[in-house]
């Protein structure tokens, strides 16, 4: 396709290469990060994932011709560019990381009578799919593949093939699904303990084969768009995620209440029913922060309207709920009802804000409201108009927006390829716009909420592209109340986290199909650790609120929802760190233990931050499971029994027990009991200390701020620094508080009056706090030290 190298030149950090048939360039952004670009479609920098390229951070860049190739050397990599834009990447020690594959493609042999198989409805896989642009990389042996956003199946994607084409398919999501709601064309390869990542920034339908066609190679491909990909070297997985999110952005710190428990249903049909639900939560002492209004709150599914028969006084309802500590989140779909006299439709039509057919006529398809039109979110003007539509909801007190059906979904066949979009100055068709439609809708909503409230927007979206993490949390769409889907949620959320999405969750209990008390009990044990913690169920399924099964299920829901509220300061801190590092809350164990091969295919355990490891029961009827504890010492969260890592253990866990382990040496901040975020005076913090007796000091940074606004970005917060050291004879505790904005710190009422330390597994007789001997009490498992903060 490119032909032989004709000439090259270096301009600053870019190496531009003229080949016989086309040109290409390599831009070095970091010693471990470079972009490969060939303008096959348009010769401009245009990305829906990257707002602006990060500042370059390079120690060195040496470029020279060596025989038939161009050799580019940075402080971490040796990159050789050959004819046909073949690129081989080595570490600076000369170990091969990634090389282009230049042999014939050799699909595995597939024997059988495909015509007959097709007749019975079996899927028949094409032998060697052909694309306009295909980048084929050599498989070197033991590569594992991760990332690529939301995928069914296992954590390691080796041997799998996927497409990126956002798809709303409510059938049970199974391993063979090539595509779901989200397109994140980014993957991480872990090989020989070294990780690198590739981000293929192309919004057309893209294809990823991780050795399904043949295990001598893997490829990524597209039928249109530029050749535009980024190579990023670790060697640590965390470094790769850092590079990826330096490009596409990190998840911003959310408002604190968004991390509380959320209750949803398609739909709570009336204000009365919503109030009933709220009353149940409070009277049953089950914490909850959010109640959702699904599509039936609207008038005939017209977005930005209310059904005044069933919701006669939305403001009254929202105010009444607010007094009980609840927030309301409403759904908004993109499909605008085609309806003369409906002002949203009319405004959009008058201004030409909708996608059109090839002749410029507004394109119509069918979704919930019947015939509907599709706002063109690829235009900044339309995004701004759409953002403003939320003003009325926000003024009523709606706290967040759920943007759904934005693949975009359509009931009357798929949108044709030639539906037209403005695309911010680069007019295009549906083929390029499809995979970013949801992301651009989320962006419009984010900007609208920010503009009208000044608070950190809470947006939840179903469809997304790389970079959507900047605007929205996501959930994994219409799962089912299947044990299989509970199991699948762990690798799925883990891979989403590796793909830059730090704020994620599934419909706890499962959306379609009927849940059981046992399944909900086990699901809530996983959900209480996922950043988005929302129970949701479909129309016509049995009730799924925590109390609707039996007393035991209710008790278990209460126990784990309460646990969530207890550890919420830890979760909030993790998300604050995530804004800086890009690291997710839900992490597969390989993220921290990549040297340990036993973590590479671990599908049913996960880390919550770096201190907590969860090994939930995800099989019906099971009460004993194998748990892998990686190196280190681990506390059983419940019994405080100590285990040595680097070993498998058999863990017993009755239905009300979820195996949870805390790494020795960790400090975990806790809330006292709460019914909702902001319940109580917020002046009491508990720090759990799980000592490791190494004599090393454990330390932890904790953020305390208003939990709602962007003021933390201007230094309006307290940064608590806790540290603890433990040996057989003494525990030394230290705490300090810094507040970057001194004026704010002097006037704010935000602060702690009491800090309570709970220290496990210790028989120490002497405790000091900031160097002064302190009193303590010994309870069952813990030594308790209560400190009054001056």
CB of 279 to ligand GLC, least distance (A): 23
Q: State which residue, 300 or 740, has the beta carbon closest to ligand GLC.
A: 300
Residue whose beta carbon is closest to ligand GLC: 266
Picking from 51, 23, 136, the residue whose alpha carbon sits closest to that of residue 439 is 51
Burial (CB < 10 A; 0-12, 13-18, 19+), residue 403, is: buried
Q: State which residue, 295 or 398, has the beta carbon closest to ligand GLC.
A: 295
Half-sphere exposure of 641 (CA within 13 A, CB side): 7
CB of 301 to ligand GLC, least distance (A): 9
**Cα 166 to Cα 213, 214, 320, 432, 698, distances in angstroms:** 23, 26, 38, 12, 44
Contacts of 717 (CB under 8 A, 6+ apart): 703, 704, 705, 711, 739, 740, 741
Are the C-beta atoms of residues 431 and 225 closer than 8 Å to each other?
no
CB of 418 to ligand GLC, least distance (A): 27
Contacts of 241 (CB under 8 A, 6+ apart): 188, 197, 498, 500, 581, 582, 583, 584, 591
| 550 carries an active-site annotation | no
CB of 204 to ligand GLC, least distance (A): 25
| 407 carries an active-site annotation | yes
Does position 477 interact with ligand GLC (CB under 6 A)? The reply is yes
Q: For ligand GLC, how many residues bind (rule: CB under 6 A)?
A: 10
Q: What are phi and psi of 60, to 5 degrees?
A: -160, 160
| CA 126 from centroid of its chain's CA atoms | 32
Q: What is the C-alpha separation between 616 and 528, in angstroms, rounded?
A: 11
Q: Which of 294, 407, 545, 604 is catalytic?
A: 407
Which tokens in the block code for residue 732?
């030394």
Q: State which residue, 143 or 294, has the beta carbon closest to ligand GLC.
A: 294
Binding mask 208-247 for ligand GLC (x = CB under 6 A): ----------------------------------------
Q: State which residue, 190 or 496, has the beta carbon closest to ligand GLC.
A: 496
Q: Which of 150, 239, 376, 404 is catalytic?
A: 404
CB-based burial, 87-117: b 16+ in 10 Å, e otherwise:
bbbbbeeeeebbbbbeeebeeeeeeeeeeee
Q: State which residue, 311 or 700, has the beta carbon closest to ligand GLC.
A: 311
Binding mask 438-467 for ligand GLC (x = CB under 6 A): ------------------------x-----
Q: What are phi and psi of 465, to 5 degrees?
A: -125, 175
Residue from 33, 160, 295, 611 touching ligand GLC (CB under 6 A): that is: 295
**Cα 295 to Cα 43, 370, 561, distances in angstroms:** 43, 13, 26
Does position 150 interact with ligand GLC (CB under 6 A)? The reply is no
Count other C-beta atoms under 10 Å from residue 218's C-beta: 29
Q: State which residue, 220 or 266, has the beta carbon closest to ligand GLC.
A: 266
| Three-state DSSP state, 266 | coil
CB of 368 to ligand GLC, least distance (A): 7
Q: State which residue, 335 or 517, has the beta carbon closest to ligand GLC.
A: 335
Does position 478 interact with ligand GLC (CB under 6 A)? The reply is yes
Does position 266 interact with ligand GLC (CB under 6 A)? The reply is yes
Q: What is the C-alpha separation between 418 and 77, in angstroms, rounded?
A: 43
Q: State which residue, 150 or 761, has the beta carbon closest to ligand GLC.
A: 150
Binders of ligand GLC among residues 367 to 406 (CB under 6 A) are: 404
Are the C-beta atoms of residues 610 and 594 closer than 8 Å to each other?
no
| 12 carries an active-site annotation | no
Residue from 198, 331, 444, 463 touching ligand GLC (CB under 6 A): that is: 331
Q: Which of 239, 296, 478, 688 is catalytic?
A: 478
Q: State which residue, 24 or 460, has the beta carbon closest to ligand GLC.
A: 460
CB of 325 to ligand GLC, least distance (A): 24
Q: What is the DSSP string of 126-165?
A: -SS---SEEEEEE--SS-EEEESSS-SS-S--TT-EEEE-
Q: What is the C-alpha separation between 783 and 757, in angstroms, rounded?
A: 8
* Dihedral angle computed from the Cα positions of residues 563, 567, 569 and 572, in that order, rounded to the nearest 10 degrees: -90
CB of 171 to ligand GLC, least distance (A): 12
Q: State which residue, 251 or 403, has the beta carbon closest to ligand GLC.
A: 403
CB of 527 to ligand GLC, least distance (A): 15
Which tokens in the block code for residue 692?
């490791």
Are the C-beta atoms of residues 282 and 275 closer than 8 Å to each other?
no
Q: State which residue, 268 or 752, has the beta carbon closest to ligand GLC.
A: 268
Binders of ligand GLC among residues 480 to 539 (CB under 6 A) are: 511, 536
CB of 478 to ligand GLC, least distance (A): 5
Q: State which residue, 205 or 333, has the beta carbon closest to ligand GLC.
A: 333
Picking from 732, 726, 733, 729, the residue whose alpha carbon sits closest to that of residue 765 is 729
**Cα 137 to Cα 140, 241, 254, 402, distances in angstroms:** 9, 21, 38, 39
CB of 532 to ligand GLC, least distance (A): 13
Are the C-beta atoms of residues 100 and 137 closer than 8 Å to each other?
yes
CB of 329 to ligand GLC, least distance (A): 12
Size (the chain), residues? 790
> Strands (DSSP E) along 318-449, which ranges?
327-332, 336-337, 364-367, 370-373, 400-403, 420-421, 428-429
Does position 407 interact with ligand GLC (CB under 6 A)? The reply is no
CB of 414 to ligand GLC, least distance (A): 17
Picking from 468, 424, 423, 421, the residue whose alpha carbon sits closest to that of residue 442 is 468
> Where along the sequence are the contacts to ligand GLC (CB under 6 A)?
266, 294-295, 331, 404, 462, 477-478, 511, 536
Task: List residues with catalytic annotation.
Answer: 404, 407, 478
């Amino acid at each position: 396709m490119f032909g032989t190298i004709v000439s090259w030149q270096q301009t600053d950090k870019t190496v531009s290469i003229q080949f016989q048939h086309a040109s290409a360039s390599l831009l070095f952004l970091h010693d471990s990060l470079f972009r490969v670009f060939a303008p096959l479609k348009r010769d401009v920098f245009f990305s829906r994932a990257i707002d602006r390229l990060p500042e370059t951070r390079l120690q060195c860049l040496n470029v020279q011709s060596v025989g038939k190739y161009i050799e580019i050397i940075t402080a971490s990599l040796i990159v050789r560019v050959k004819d046909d834009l073949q690129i081989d990447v080595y570490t600076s020690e000369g170990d091969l990381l990634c090389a282009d594959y230049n042999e014939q493609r050799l699909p595995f042999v597939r024997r059988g009578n495909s015509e007959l198989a097709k007749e019975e409805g079996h899927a028949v896989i094409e032998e060697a799919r052909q694309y306009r642009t295909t980048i084929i990389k050599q498989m070197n042996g033991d590569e594992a593949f991760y990332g690529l956003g939301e995928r069914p199946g296992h954590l390691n994607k080796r041997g799998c093939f996927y497409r990126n084409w956002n798809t709303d398919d409510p059938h049970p999501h199974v391993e063979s699904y090539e595509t779901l709601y989200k397109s994140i064309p980014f993957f991480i390869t872990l090989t020989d303990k070294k990780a690198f990542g590739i981000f293929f920034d192309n919004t057309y339908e893209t294809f990823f084969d991780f050795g399904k066609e043949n295990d001598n190679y893997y490829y990524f491909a597209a039928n249109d768009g530029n050749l535009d990909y980024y190579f990023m070297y670790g060697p640590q997985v965390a470094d790769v995620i850092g590079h990826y999110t330096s490009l596409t952005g990190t998840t911003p710190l959310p408002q604190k209440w968004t991390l509380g428990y959320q209750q949803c249903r398609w739909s709570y049909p009336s204000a009365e029913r919503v109030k009933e639900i709220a009353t149940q939560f409070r009277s049953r002492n089950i914490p909850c922060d959010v109640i959702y209004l699904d599509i039936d709150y609207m008038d005939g599914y017209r977005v930005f309207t209310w059904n005044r028969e069933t919701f006669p006084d939305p403001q009254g309802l929202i105010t009444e709920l607010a007094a009980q500590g609840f927030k309301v989140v409403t759904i908004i779909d993109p499909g605008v009802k085609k309806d003369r006299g409906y002002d949203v439709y009319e405004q959009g039509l008058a201004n030409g804000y909708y996608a059109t057919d090839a002749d410029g006529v507004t394109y119509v398809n069918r979704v919930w409201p019947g015939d509907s039109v599709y706002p063109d979110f690829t235009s900044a003007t339309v995004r701004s108009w759409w953002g403003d539509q939320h003003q009325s909801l926000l003024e009523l007190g709606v706290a967040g927006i759920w943007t759904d059906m934005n693949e975009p979904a359509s009931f009357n066949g798929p949108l044709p390829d030639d539906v037209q979009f403005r695309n911010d100055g680069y007019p295009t068709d549906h083929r390029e716009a499809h995979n970013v439609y949801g992301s651009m809708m989320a962006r419009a909503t984010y900007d609208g909420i920010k503009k009208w409230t000044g608070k950190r927007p809470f947006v939840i979206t179903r469809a997304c592209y790389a970079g959507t993490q900047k605007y929205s949390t996501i959930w994994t769409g219409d799962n089912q109340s299947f044990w299989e889907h509970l199991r699948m949620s762990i690798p799925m959320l883990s891979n989403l986290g590796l793909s830059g999405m730090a704020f994620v969750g599934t419909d706890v209990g499962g959306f379609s199909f009927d849940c059981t008390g046992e399944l909900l009990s086990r699901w809530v044990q996983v959900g209480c650790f996922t950043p988005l913690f929302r129970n949701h169920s479909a129309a016509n399924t049995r009730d799924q609120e925590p109390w609707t099964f039996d007393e035991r299920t209710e008790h278990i829901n209460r126990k784990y929802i309460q646990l969530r509220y207890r550890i919420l300061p830890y979760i909030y801190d993790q998300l604050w760190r995530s804004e800086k590092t890009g690291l997710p809350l839900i992490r597969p164990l390989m993220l921290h233990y990549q040297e340990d091969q036993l973590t590479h295919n671990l599908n049913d355990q996960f880390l919550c931050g770096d201190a907590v490891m969860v090994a939930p029961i995800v099989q019906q009827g099971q009460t004993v499971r194998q748990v892998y504890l990686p190196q280190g010492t681990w506390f059983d969260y419940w019994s405080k029994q100590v285990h040595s890592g680097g070993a498998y253990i058999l863990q017993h866990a009755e239905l009300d027990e979820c195996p949870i382990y805390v790494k020795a040496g960790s400090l975990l901040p806790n809330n006292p009991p709460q019914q909702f975020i902001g319940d109580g005076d917020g002046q009491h913090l508990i720090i759990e200390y799980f000592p490791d007796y190494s004599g090393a000091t454990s330390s932890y940074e904790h953020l305390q701020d208003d939990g709602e606004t962007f003021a933390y970005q201007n230094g309006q917060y307290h940064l608590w620094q806790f540290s603890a050291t433990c040996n057989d004879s003494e525990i030394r505790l230290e705490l300090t508080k810094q507040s970057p904005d001194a004026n704010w710190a002097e006037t704010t009422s935000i602060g702690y009056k009491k800090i309570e330390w709970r220290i496990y597994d210790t028989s120490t007789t002497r405790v000091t706090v900031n160097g002064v001997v302190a009193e303590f009490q010994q309870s069952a498992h813990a030594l308790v030290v209560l400190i009054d903060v001056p």
